[in-house]
Amino acid sequence: MPIREDSDYTPPFHLFNGHVQTVVANIFRHLPPPVYERERIDTPDGDFLDLDWSFAGGGAGRLAIVAHGLEGHSRRPYIVGMVRALNRRGWDVVAWNFRGCGGETNRIERSYHAGDTDDLQVVVNHVCRIREDRALALVGFSLGGNLILKYLGEETVTRPSRLSGAAVFSVPCDLRDGALQLSRPANRLYLRRFLRELRRKLVHKAQRFPQLAPERLAGIRDFRGFDDAYTAPLHGFADAEDYWARCSARPFLRGVGIPTLLINARNDPFLGEPCYPWTEAADSSWLELEVPDHGGHVGFPLWGEEFWSERRAGDFLDEVDGRAAPTRPGGP
Protein backbone atom coordinates (compact mmCIF):
# COMPACT_ATOMS: atom_id res chain seq x y z
CA MET A 1 0.00 0.00 0.00
CA PRO A 2 1.17 3.57 -0.48
CA ILE A 3 3.07 5.19 2.36
CA ARG A 4 1.85 8.74 2.85
CA GLU A 5 4.42 11.18 4.16
CA ASP A 6 2.63 14.15 2.56
CA SER A 7 -0.38 14.10 4.88
CA ASP A 8 -2.71 17.06 4.67
CA TYR A 9 -2.91 17.55 8.45
CA THR A 10 -1.90 21.04 9.57
CA PRO A 11 -2.32 21.96 13.26
CA PRO A 12 -3.59 25.33 14.46
CA PHE A 13 -0.66 27.77 14.48
CA HIS A 14 -0.48 28.06 18.27
CA LEU A 15 -0.18 24.29 18.78
CA PHE A 16 3.43 24.24 17.72
CA ASN A 17 4.83 20.86 18.81
CA GLY A 18 3.91 17.29 19.66
CA HIS A 19 3.69 17.85 23.40
CA VAL A 20 1.28 20.78 23.06
CA GLN A 21 -0.83 18.89 20.51
CA THR A 22 -0.99 15.90 22.87
CA VAL A 23 -1.90 17.86 25.99
CA VAL A 24 -4.48 20.15 24.39
CA ALA A 25 -6.29 17.25 22.74
CA ASN A 26 -6.35 15.00 25.79
CA ILE A 27 -6.62 17.37 28.72
CA PHE A 28 -8.33 20.54 27.54
CA ARG A 29 -10.86 19.20 25.03
CA HIS A 30 -14.43 19.13 26.29
CA LEU A 31 -17.28 17.60 24.29
CA PRO A 32 -20.87 16.74 25.18
CA PRO A 33 -20.83 12.98 25.75
CA PRO A 34 -22.83 10.69 23.51
CA VAL A 35 -26.00 9.17 24.88
CA TYR A 36 -24.52 5.77 25.61
CA GLU A 37 -26.52 2.62 26.24
CA ARG A 38 -24.40 0.30 28.37
CA GLU A 39 -24.33 -3.43 27.90
CA ARG A 40 -22.34 -5.83 30.06
CA ILE A 41 -21.17 -9.07 28.50
CA ASP A 42 -19.44 -12.00 30.18
CA THR A 43 -16.06 -13.40 29.19
CA PRO A 44 -15.28 -17.13 29.08
CA ASP A 45 -13.10 -16.89 32.22
CA GLY A 46 -15.86 -15.48 34.41
CA ASP A 47 -15.10 -11.79 34.01
CA PHE A 48 -17.04 -9.08 32.18
CA LEU A 49 -16.63 -6.28 29.61
CA ASP A 50 -18.71 -3.10 29.50
CA LEU A 51 -19.81 -1.98 26.05
CA ASP A 52 -21.15 1.54 25.50
CA TRP A 53 -23.39 1.82 22.44
CA SER A 54 -24.12 5.04 20.55
CA PHE A 55 -26.60 4.87 17.67
CA ALA A 56 -26.69 6.95 14.52
CA GLY A 57 -30.40 6.29 14.03
CA GLY A 58 -32.30 5.34 10.94
CA GLY A 59 -31.10 1.73 10.80
CA ALA A 60 -27.50 2.57 9.88
CA GLY A 61 -26.50 -0.91 8.78
CA ARG A 62 -22.87 -0.11 9.65
CA LEU A 63 -21.15 -0.63 12.97
CA ALA A 64 -17.75 0.49 14.28
CA ILE A 65 -16.05 -0.95 17.36
CA VAL A 66 -13.80 1.63 19.02
CA ALA A 67 -10.94 0.70 21.40
CA HIS A 68 -9.29 3.16 23.81
CA GLY A 69 -5.69 3.44 25.00
CA LEU A 70 -3.85 2.69 28.23
CA GLU A 71 -6.02 3.55 31.24
CA GLY A 72 -8.63 5.04 28.94
CA HIS A 73 -12.35 4.43 28.73
CA SER A 74 -15.37 5.29 26.60
CA ARG A 75 -15.64 8.80 28.09
CA ARG A 76 -12.18 10.02 27.12
CA PRO A 77 -12.29 13.03 24.74
CA TYR A 78 -10.63 11.16 21.88
CA ILE A 79 -13.20 8.34 22.13
CA VAL A 80 -16.16 10.72 22.47
CA GLY A 81 -14.95 12.75 19.49
CA MET A 82 -14.59 9.66 17.30
CA VAL A 83 -17.97 8.23 18.37
CA ARG A 84 -19.76 11.49 17.59
CA ALA A 85 -18.00 11.87 14.24
CA LEU A 86 -18.82 8.33 13.13
CA ASN A 87 -22.43 8.70 14.29
CA ARG A 88 -22.73 11.79 12.09
CA ARG A 89 -21.57 9.71 9.13
CA GLY A 90 -24.19 7.05 9.76
CA TRP A 91 -22.15 4.52 11.74
CA ASP A 92 -23.53 3.00 14.91
CA VAL A 93 -20.67 2.70 17.39
CA VAL A 94 -19.81 0.48 20.32
CA ALA A 95 -17.02 1.86 22.51
CA TRP A 96 -15.79 -1.05 24.58
CA ASN A 97 -14.08 -0.62 27.91
CA PHE A 98 -11.18 -2.94 28.70
CA ARG A 99 -11.38 -4.99 31.90
CA GLY A 100 -11.61 -2.69 34.90
CA CYS A 101 -11.89 0.45 32.75
CA GLY A 102 -15.67 0.87 32.67
CA GLY A 103 -15.96 2.36 36.15
CA GLU A 104 -16.10 -0.89 38.13
CA THR A 105 -13.29 -3.23 39.15
CA ASN A 106 -13.27 -6.45 37.17
CA ARG A 107 -14.10 -9.72 38.91
CA ILE A 108 -10.84 -11.63 38.66
CA GLU A 109 -7.19 -11.00 39.44
CA ARG A 110 -5.99 -10.40 35.91
CA SER A 111 -6.62 -7.16 34.02
CA TYR A 112 -6.05 -6.12 30.38
CA HIS A 113 -2.93 -5.76 28.25
CA ALA A 114 -1.78 -4.59 24.83
CA GLY A 115 -2.03 -7.99 23.15
CA ASP A 116 -5.29 -9.30 24.64
CA THR A 117 -6.96 -10.19 21.35
CA ASP A 118 -9.12 -12.81 23.08
CA ASP A 119 -11.19 -10.02 24.63
CA LEU A 120 -11.50 -8.23 21.30
CA GLN A 121 -12.66 -11.51 19.76
CA VAL A 122 -15.33 -11.78 22.47
CA VAL A 123 -16.60 -8.29 21.56
CA VAL A 124 -16.52 -8.96 17.81
CA ASN A 125 -18.32 -12.29 18.17
CA HIS A 126 -20.95 -10.70 20.41
CA VAL A 127 -21.82 -7.84 18.08
CA CYS A 128 -21.88 -10.15 15.08
CA ARG A 129 -24.27 -12.45 16.94
CA ILE A 130 -26.76 -9.68 17.75
CA ARG A 131 -26.34 -7.47 14.67
CA GLU A 132 -26.53 -8.12 10.95
CA ASP A 133 -24.79 -4.98 9.69
CA ARG A 134 -23.46 -5.11 6.17
CA ALA A 135 -20.18 -3.59 7.34
CA LEU A 136 -18.13 -3.79 10.51
CA ALA A 137 -15.11 -1.57 11.19
CA LEU A 138 -12.50 -1.30 13.94
CA VAL A 139 -11.01 1.94 15.27
CA GLY A 140 -8.28 2.07 17.89
CA PHE A 141 -5.98 4.47 19.69
CA SER A 142 -2.52 3.82 21.13
CA LEU A 143 -2.67 0.53 23.11
CA GLY A 144 -6.10 -0.18 21.56
CA GLY A 145 -4.61 0.35 18.11
CA ASN A 146 -1.84 -2.16 18.86
CA LEU A 147 -4.49 -4.62 19.99
CA ILE A 148 -6.46 -4.20 16.76
CA LEU A 149 -3.43 -4.57 14.49
CA LYS A 150 -2.33 -7.72 16.30
CA TYR A 151 -5.87 -9.11 16.03
CA LEU A 152 -5.95 -8.43 12.29
CA GLY A 153 -2.61 -10.13 11.74
CA GLU A 154 -2.97 -13.22 13.91
CA GLU A 155 -3.52 -16.56 12.22
CA THR A 156 -5.38 -18.01 15.19
CA VAL A 157 -8.29 -15.55 15.37
CA THR A 158 -11.57 -15.83 13.49
CA ARG A 159 -12.36 -12.57 11.76
CA PRO A 160 -15.88 -12.00 10.42
CA SER A 161 -16.24 -11.75 6.66
CA ARG A 162 -18.19 -8.50 7.02
CA LEU A 163 -15.17 -6.77 8.60
CA SER A 164 -14.58 -4.04 6.02
CA GLY A 165 -11.72 -1.98 7.42
CA ALA A 166 -9.80 -0.55 10.35
CA ALA A 167 -8.25 2.78 11.28
CA VAL A 168 -5.75 3.13 14.13
CA PHE A 169 -3.87 6.10 15.52
CA SER A 170 -0.73 6.76 17.57
CA VAL A 171 0.13 3.08 17.86
CA PRO A 172 3.18 1.82 19.79
CA CYS A 173 3.40 -1.21 17.55
CA ASP A 174 6.79 -1.95 19.11
CA LEU A 175 5.88 -2.06 22.80
CA ARG A 176 9.46 -2.14 24.00
CA ASP A 177 10.23 1.07 22.16
CA GLY A 178 7.04 2.69 23.49
CA ALA A 179 8.01 1.84 27.06
CA LEU A 180 11.53 3.19 26.56
CA GLN A 181 10.26 6.40 24.97
CA LEU A 182 8.03 7.09 27.96
CA SER A 183 11.05 6.74 30.24
CA ARG A 184 12.84 9.62 28.54
CA PRO A 185 13.17 12.79 30.67
CA ALA A 186 10.97 14.77 28.25
CA ASN A 187 8.11 12.35 28.89
CA ARG A 188 8.41 12.14 32.66
CA LEU A 189 5.08 13.88 33.32
CA TYR A 190 3.18 11.45 31.06
CA LEU A 191 4.86 8.48 32.70
CA ARG A 192 4.00 9.70 36.18
CA ARG A 193 0.38 10.18 35.19
CA PHE A 194 0.07 6.68 33.73
CA LEU A 195 1.76 5.06 36.72
CA ARG A 196 -0.39 7.04 39.12
CA GLU A 197 -3.55 5.74 37.46
CA LEU A 198 -2.25 2.17 37.38
CA ARG A 199 -1.20 2.36 41.04
CA ARG A 200 -4.56 3.78 42.13
CA LYS A 201 -6.44 1.01 40.38
CA LEU A 202 -4.14 -1.73 41.65
CA VAL A 203 -4.29 -0.55 45.29
CA HIS A 204 -8.09 -0.57 45.09
CA LYS A 205 -8.12 -4.04 43.54
CA ALA A 206 -5.75 -5.38 46.17
CA GLN A 207 -8.51 -4.98 48.76
CA ARG A 208 -10.09 -7.98 47.05
CA PHE A 209 -6.89 -9.68 45.89
CA PRO A 210 -4.22 -9.02 48.56
CA GLN A 211 -1.78 -11.25 46.71
CA LEU A 212 -1.28 -8.33 44.31
CA ALA A 213 0.96 -6.91 47.04
CA PRO A 214 0.59 -3.20 46.28
CA GLU A 215 3.53 -2.40 48.55
CA ARG A 216 5.75 -3.45 45.63
CA LEU A 217 4.55 -0.36 43.77
CA ALA A 218 6.74 1.89 45.90
CA GLY A 219 9.88 0.92 44.01
CA ILE A 220 8.42 1.05 40.49
CA ARG A 221 9.53 4.03 38.41
CA ASP A 222 8.86 2.99 34.81
CA PHE A 223 6.89 0.58 32.63
CA ARG A 224 9.61 -2.04 32.70
CA GLY A 225 9.22 -2.22 36.45
CA PHE A 226 5.43 -2.30 36.29
CA ASP A 227 5.27 -4.87 33.51
CA ASP A 228 7.87 -7.08 35.23
CA ALA A 229 5.99 -6.96 38.53
CA TYR A 230 2.37 -7.06 37.37
CA THR A 231 1.48 -7.16 33.66
CA ALA A 232 3.70 -10.11 32.79
CA PRO A 233 3.00 -12.50 35.70
CA LEU A 234 -0.74 -11.74 35.76
CA HIS A 235 -1.14 -12.57 32.08
CA GLY A 236 1.20 -15.48 31.52
CA PHE A 237 4.41 -13.83 30.34
CA ALA A 238 7.88 -14.46 31.70
CA ASP A 239 8.79 -10.81 32.18
CA ALA A 240 8.40 -7.40 30.54
CA GLU A 241 10.64 -8.29 27.60
CA ASP A 242 8.61 -11.43 26.90
CA TYR A 243 5.35 -9.47 27.12
CA TRP A 244 6.58 -6.74 24.80
CA ALA A 245 7.96 -9.21 22.25
CA ARG A 246 4.85 -11.40 22.13
CA CYS A 247 2.26 -8.62 22.18
CA SER A 248 3.77 -5.97 19.89
CA ALA A 249 1.71 -5.64 16.73
CA ARG A 250 4.61 -5.05 14.36
CA PRO A 251 5.50 -8.74 13.84
CA PHE A 252 1.85 -9.41 12.91
CA LEU A 253 1.44 -6.66 10.31
CA ARG A 254 2.27 -8.86 7.34
CA GLY A 255 -0.81 -10.94 8.19
CA VAL A 256 -3.26 -8.02 7.98
CA GLY A 257 -5.83 -8.95 5.35
CA ILE A 258 -8.35 -6.09 5.25
CA PRO A 259 -7.92 -2.40 4.34
CA THR A 260 -6.21 -0.85 7.36
CA LEU A 261 -5.02 2.71 7.95
CA LEU A 262 -2.24 3.30 10.49
CA ILE A 263 -1.50 6.94 11.34
CA ASN A 264 1.47 7.77 13.55
CA ALA A 265 2.56 11.41 13.74
CA ARG A 266 6.25 12.04 13.21
CA ASN A 267 6.32 14.26 16.31
CA ASP A 268 4.55 11.77 18.59
CA PRO A 269 6.49 12.00 21.87
CA PHE A 270 5.58 8.40 22.80
CA LEU A 271 6.95 6.73 19.65
CA GLY A 272 10.46 6.02 18.40
CA GLU A 273 11.55 4.81 14.98
CA PRO A 274 10.65 1.11 15.63
CA CYS A 275 6.97 2.16 15.85
CA TYR A 276 6.92 3.28 12.20
CA PRO A 277 6.60 0.07 10.14
CA TRP A 278 7.80 1.42 6.80
CA THR A 279 8.87 -1.92 5.35
CA GLU A 280 5.76 -3.84 6.40
CA ALA A 281 3.47 -1.19 4.90
CA ALA A 282 5.45 -1.02 1.65
CA ASP A 283 5.19 -4.80 1.27
CA SER A 284 1.50 -5.03 2.19
CA SER A 285 -1.54 -4.97 -0.08
CA TRP A 286 -3.74 -3.95 2.85
CA LEU A 287 -1.83 -1.75 5.31
CA GLU A 288 -1.61 1.97 4.57
CA LEU A 289 0.85 3.94 6.70
CA GLU A 290 0.37 7.69 6.99
CA VAL A 291 2.93 9.79 8.86
CA PRO A 292 1.92 13.43 9.30
CA ASP A 293 4.65 15.78 10.48
CA HIS A 294 2.36 16.90 13.32
CA GLY A 295 -0.32 15.48 15.58
CA GLY A 296 1.32 14.44 18.83
CA HIS A 297 -0.02 11.37 20.62
CA VAL A 298 -3.76 10.79 20.13
CA GLY A 299 -3.94 14.46 19.21
CA PHE A 300 -4.47 15.88 15.69
CA PRO A 301 -6.48 18.90 16.91
CA LEU A 302 -8.22 21.33 14.59
CA TRP A 303 -10.29 24.43 15.10
CA GLY A 304 -13.89 23.45 15.76
CA GLU A 305 -15.53 20.38 17.21
CA GLU A 306 -14.20 17.68 14.88
CA PHE A 307 -10.51 16.77 14.91
CA TRP A 308 -8.53 15.72 11.85
CA SER A 309 -8.18 12.11 13.05
CA GLU A 310 -11.97 11.82 13.18
CA ARG A 311 -12.38 13.16 9.64
CA ARG A 312 -9.60 10.94 8.35
CA ALA A 313 -11.01 7.81 9.97
CA GLY A 314 -14.52 8.60 8.72
CA ASP A 315 -13.31 9.22 5.15
CA PHE A 316 -11.27 6.02 5.12
CA LEU A 317 -14.00 3.80 6.57
CA ASP A 318 -16.60 5.28 4.23
CA GLU A 319 -14.28 4.55 1.32
CA VAL A 320 -13.56 0.94 2.21
CA ASP A 321 -17.23 0.31 3.00
CA GLY A 322 -17.99 1.33 -0.57
CA ARG A 323 -15.42 -1.01 -2.09
CA ALA A 324 -16.25 -4.46 -3.33
CA ALA A 325 -14.80 -6.57 -0.54
CA PRO A 326 -12.61 -9.52 -1.60
CA THR A 327 -13.55 -12.98 -0.48
CA ARG A 328 -12.13 -13.68 2.96
CA PRO A 329 -12.30 -16.90 4.93
CA GLY A 330 -14.88 -17.77 7.55
CA GLY A 331 -16.11 -15.83 10.52
CA PRO A 332 -19.51 -15.09 12.06
- Measure the CA–CA gap between 118 and 219, rounded to whole angstroms: 31
Query: Which residue among the candidates 142, 164, 248, 309 is catalytic per the annotation?
Result: 142
Buried b (16+ CB within 10 A) or exposed e, 109-124: ebbbbbbbbebbbbbb
Query: Which residue among the candidates 268, 284, 294, 309 is catalytic per the annotation?
Result: 268
Catalytic, 268? Answer yes
Query: Which residue among the candidates 177, 284, 297, 321 is catalytic per the annotation?
Result: 297
Which amino acid type is present at position 273? E
Do the Cβ atoms of 287 and 260 come closer than 8 Å?
A: yes
Sign of CA dihedral 36, 39, 44, 45: positive
| Burial (0-12, 13-18, 19+ Cβ within 10 Å), 301 | buried
Name the helix (H) or strand (E) containing 323. none
Do the Cβ atoms of 11 and 293 come closer than 8 Å?
A: no
Catalytic, 7? Answer no
Catalytic, 142? Answer yes
Catalytic residues: 142, 268, 297
